[in-house]
Chains A and B, each alone.
Chain A
Amino acid sequence: MSTTDTRTLRVYRFKRGDGAEHFDEFEVPVGPRMSILDALRWIQLHRDPSLALRHSCLHASCGTCGVQVDGREELACVSAVRDHGETITVEPLANLPILTDLVVDVGEFFARFPEHPIIRASEADGYVRLEDCIECGLCLSACPVAATSRHYVGPAALVAAQRLLEEPRGADREDVLAWADRPEAAWGCHLGFECARACPAEAIPAERIMALRRELAR
């Protein structure tokens, strides 16, 4: 292990009222287990405290630190620097408005969801388990349909609808079906399966979208 090994991070920057979006480049010393999030926080601590980013749990459980690394959706906390090249480009998630730097407007993400239940845990198998979907937005960012249609609700919202049908927890089944039975909802998916590739949890968006369609076709 050499602590003098460095990589260049090209980081997307934007401040409101400042106008111009651009990339800043930072040389970052790299340790053997360093994640993209570690590298970004090193930049905050040692180079530029104004760099804004989202993170919370540091172990792929909260879903806040999603970014595009070299054009692919990743949770920064579990994306290893060593899996990338000498220059690593980090950008905010796509298909959501950018608030500042690497921070997207999560309100726009939740605005696409069906009714959001107050109970977000499953009791299906005799024990309680928090929902697998961590609402990170990676699937929406990766979705080719969402890239061309602003009105498509996207994979995570469809997963939420399918879960409501599976375990309603107070939701009205007919309301959920009506919400899903629209061209911009369950019928908008073009089977690109990019969501299945991007999902860092075990929510399996593509399979659940297909299950939702089967419910609608019954």
Chain B
Amino acid sequence: MRHDAHVLIVGGGGTGAALAHDLSLRGLGVTLVERGELTSGTTGRHHGLLHSGGRYAVNDRESAVECIEENRILRRICPGTFELNDGLFVAVEEEDLEYVDAFVDGCEACGIPAQRLTRDEALRLEPNLNPAIKLAVRVPDGTIDAMRLPLRFFATARRNGAVIRPYTEVRDLLVHDGLVSGAVLLDHVTGKEGEVRADIVVNATGPWSERVAAMAGVDVPIRPSPGVLLALRGRMCNMVLNRLHKSGDGDIIVPQRGLSVVGTSSWVVEDPDDLTVPEDHVERMYAEGSKLVPAVRSADRRAAWSAARPLIGSKGADTGRELSRTFKTFDHKETDGVEGFVTITGGKATTLRGMAELCADVICRKLDIDEPCRTRETVLLPHSAYYAAAAA
């Protein structure tokens, strides 16, 4: 059924997309605003890995289980938006072998199918791998079309009544007596200012969360943690190639169309708008990536860029690697005594739907609406339907 409640979502990345879709399916009114093009923040820039959960199977089993569950759901609801060629975790050096048993055990404990391959079996699957590798483990990783996956959520949300407004910037939140009741918007298409009212405003701005939360006078402990990624011309593999060891710099190569993307590094910044691409990080991507695939060393650089992860953590962090990869919904009534304002942040592209489900549960509870989540079964429209609806 339709409900009178109206939710304003700030932020047009993957999290906002999945939340707009979830709330629309539950019958709530939704307006989503994004200051630029949809997915122009962190979402569109990620390496495109559809996680099997393997990367977290040893040190963060909660995240690993989330990943494999959402991986299976996304395959079902977004057919055609992934390169589903699995991934290899590759032992390149002797010391990597110490990690193999813990990795396979971790995968089994988390329900992630993991198949041990000999060196020769791995090289048959991926002939460009370093011939000196020791062995590999195959898991159901894949490649995501980083923009078109969220666009399918936006397209379906819009079909179900959500109003999606890119090029619309939040100038301020409407706050009175501890209650957030809407926002002041600047429409960059017309250059005009206006207001929109809402029962709940959701801050889904990723690494910009702290800035938007400050408009409501509250603090969220977000550390923008950028990483450098390097896109090389040429497709050097069909499977996602990972180093079989504790997460580190330059330890993954993700094929995307005719490109190979090597990632990533990790540090912490104050301003997510002002990201640099340190040349020594790019050099590290070449050096580390070529340990997996020697041809990386001489490949042509198509682009190098930085993307800021929205990691949850205290001001003390300095590399970002020590911060959690999980997500969190802050109901600011509970944390700060401010009603009508919720922040959803952290997480990763693979878990966008699951993040949205939990956040939508919080929102419905606050609004006293009893509607189940329906996003696990709803197959999403093609990404182009987003623009078709816009043109209509």
Residues of B within 8 A of A217 (CB): none
Add 12 more A-B contacts to A16-B191, A59-B259, A62-B147 (CB < 8 A): A55-B37, A56-B45, A57-B44, A58-B305, A59-B229, A59-B302, A61-B231, A99-B167, A100-B167, A116-B382, A116-B385, A121-B81
B388 at the interface (CB under 8 A from A): yes
Q: Pick out which of these stretches binds chain A: B58-66, B82-90, B366-374.
A: B82-90
Residues of A within 8 A of B143 (CB): 130
* Cβ of B275 to closest chain A Cβ, rounded Å: 10
- Interface of B toward A, CB cutoff 8 Å: 36-40, 43-45, 48, 79-85, 143, 145-148, 167, 169, 186, 188-192, 229, 231, 235, 238, 256-259, 261, 273-274, 277, 279, 302-305, 307, 379, 381-385, 387-388, 390-392
Residues of A within 8 A of B387 (CB): 106-107, 109-110
Residues of B within 8 A of A50 (CB): 186, 188, 191
Residues of B within 8 A of A117 (CB): 80, 382
A162 at the interface (CB under 8 A from B): no
Residues of B within 8 A of A201 (CB): 257-258
**A132 & B191 in contact (Cβ 8 Å cutoff):** no
**B277 & A111 in contact (Cβ 8 Å cutoff):** no
**A78 & B302 in contact (Cβ 8 Å cutoff):** yes
Interface flags, A1-27, vs B, CB<8A=1, else 0: 000000000000001111000000000
Q: Which 9 A-B pairs have the closest CB atoms?
A: A107-B391, A56-B44, A119-B80, A59-B303, A58-B305, A59-B231, A15-B191, A54-B37, A62-B147
**A62 & B146 in contact (Cβ 8 Å cutoff):** yes
Residues of B within 8 A of A113 (CB): 384
Residues of B within 8 A of A211 (CB): none
The closest CB in chain A to the CB of B389 belongs to A107
Q: Given A56-B146, A128-B83, is A100 in contact with B189 using a C-beta cutoff of 8 Å?
A: yes
Tell me whether chain A's interface is mostly helix, strand or loop, or mixed: loop
* Cβ of A179 to closest chain B Cβ, rounded Å: 15
8 A-B pairs with CB atoms under 8 Å apart are A15-B190, A16-B190, A56-B43, A119-B80, A120-B145, A121-B80, A130-B145, A132-B258
A33 at the interface (CB under 8 A from B): yes
Residues of B within 8 A of A176 (CB): none
* Cβ of B22 to closest chain A Cβ, rounded Å: 20
Interface flags, A81-102, vs B, CB<8A=1, else 0: 0000000000000000001110
**A116 & B384 in contact (Cβ 8 Å cutoff):** yes
